[in-house]
Structure 1
Amino acid sequence: MSVEDSVGIVPESAWAKSSYSSGEGGECVEVASWLCVAHIRDSKDKARPMVSLTLDAWTDFVGFAARHPV
């Protein structure tokens, strides 16, 4: 896992906002699959660093989260 500056590394067109994100300023994340890496960032503050994971690690995380809802 790495933490990187999201500005200029991943094109804006690659980002997708979580379907759980609302337009009311709640907890929002965006994910982009770019160059075989999953990038995750805060959609409210896109200039902050993003987290980058291998696609396998992202798939494992999403599967774990689906099995263990909060």
Structure 2
Amino acid sequence: MQIKEQRKKAGLTQSKLAELLAVSQSTVCGWETGAATVPVAQLLAMADLFCCTTDTLLGRQTASA
């Protein structure tokens, strides 16, 4: 997962991201450490917020053509 990297790049704290997504700070922490699974709705919201793809957030590499 690349949530932490994208969050920091956006200049947000875990608490601020949690507020924007209407979840707790501990939930964001769990997502960042891999201890919790990110629901699709929050994954999509973060992709919109960070102006990136869900693949980026999931740490998926694109195949080079």
TM-score (norm 1): 0.28
Q: More strand per residue: 1 or 2?
A: 1
Q: More helix per residue: 1 or 2?
A: 2
- Which of the pair has the greater relative contact order for Cα pairs under 8 Å at 6+ separation? 2
Q: Which has the larger radius of gyration?
A: 1
